[in-house]
Structure 1
Amino acid sequence: MNLSLLWIPVTLAAAAAQTGRNATQRRLTEKIGTVGATQVRFLYGFPFALIALAVVRLATSEAVPLPNGTFFLYVLAGAMSQIMATALMLSAMRERAFSVVTAYTKTEPVQVALFGLVLLGDQLTPVIALAILIATLGVIVMSVKPGASLTSSGLRPVLSGVVSGAFFALAAIGFRGAILSLGEGSSLIRATTTLVWGLGLQTAILLIWLGLFDRKALTASFAAWRPSLGAGFLGALASQFWFLGFALTTAANVRTLALVEVLMAQAVSHRFLSQATSRREIIGMVLIVGGVALLLLAQS
Structure 2
Amino acid sequence: MLWIPFALFAALMQAWRNAFQKQLSQSVGATGVTLARFILAGPLAATYLWLLYRWQPQQALPDFSVPFAGYIVGAAFSQILATALMVRLFQLRNYAVGVGLAKSEAILAAALGVCFFGTSLTALGWLGVVLGGMAVWLLSGLHRASGTVSPMTLVFGLGSGLAFALTSLWVREASLLLALPFPFSAAWVLLLVIGLQTLLLVTWLGLRDPASLRGLLKRPTLTALVSLTSCLGSIGWFSAMSLESVALVKTLGQIEVLFTLMISAWYFRDRLARHDHLGLGLIVVAAICVMWA
Structure-1 residue corresponding to 2:14? 18
Superposition map of 1:200-219 within 5 A? 200-219=195-214
Residue 173 (str. 1) matches residue 159 (str. 2) = no
Quote how far apart the aligned CAs of 1:224 are. Answer: 2.0
Contact 2:97 2:142 in 1 (8 A): no
Q: Following the alignment from structure 2 to structure 1, what is the Cα–Cα distance between the partners of residues 206 and 237? A: 29
TM-score normalised according to structure 2 size: 0.95
Decide which of 117, 129, 133 is 1:120's aligned counterpart.
Answer: 117
2:66 aligns to what? 69
Q: Deviations over 1:95-148 (max 9, x none)?
A: 3222222111111111111222233211111110111011102212334467x4
The match for 2:88 is 91
1:92–1:158 CA contact under 8 A, matched in 2? no
How big is the alpha-carbon RMSD for the aligned residues of Structure 1 and Structure 2?
1.5
**Match in the other structure for 1:56:** 52
Shift of 1:287: 1.9
Tell me the distance in 1 between the aligned counterparts of 2:82 and 2:233. 15
8 Å CA contact 1:145–1:278 kept in 2: the answer is: no
The one-letter amino acid of 2:186's match is A
| Percent identity (aligned) | 30
Q: Which amino acid aligns with 1:128?
A: G
Cα distance in structure 2, aligned partners of 1:198 and 1:110 = 24
* Cα deviations by residue, 1:213-267 (Å, 9 ceiling, x for unpaired): 1111022113322221121111111101111101111111110100000000000
- Taking the aligned partners of 1:192 and 1:151, their CA distance within structure 2 comes to 43
37-46 or 150-159, larger mean C-alpha shift: 150-159
Q: Structure 1 unaligned segments of length 5 or more: list them.
A: none
Segment drifting more, 93-102 vs 151-160: 151-160
Moved over 6 A (4+): none
Gaps of 5+ in 2: none
In structure 1, what is the equivalent of residue 226 of structure 2?
231
Distance in 1 of aligned mates of 2:117 and 2:77: 18
The answer to whether the aligner puts 1:159 opposite 2:179 as a matched pair is: no
Map of 2:183 onto structure 1: 188
- Partner residue, 1:258: 253
CA distance in 1, matches of 2:104, 2:141: 14
Tell me the distance in 2 between the aligned counterparts of 1:117 and 1:40: 33
How far did residue 186 of structure 1 move?
Answer: 1.1
In structure 2, do the counterparts of structure 1 residues 289 and 100 end up closer, same or farther at CA, with 3 Å as the change threshold? farther
- Give the aligned partner of residue 194 of structure 2: 199
- Residue 133 of structure 1 pairs with residue 130 of structure 2: yes
Kindly tell me the number of residue pairs found equivalent between the two proteins: 292
Query: How many Å separate the matches in 2 of 1:282 and 1:155?
Result: 29
- Give 1:261's aligned amino acid: E
Instruction: Give, in angstroms, the shift of residue 66 of structure 1.
Output: 2.6
1:221 corresponds to which residue? 216
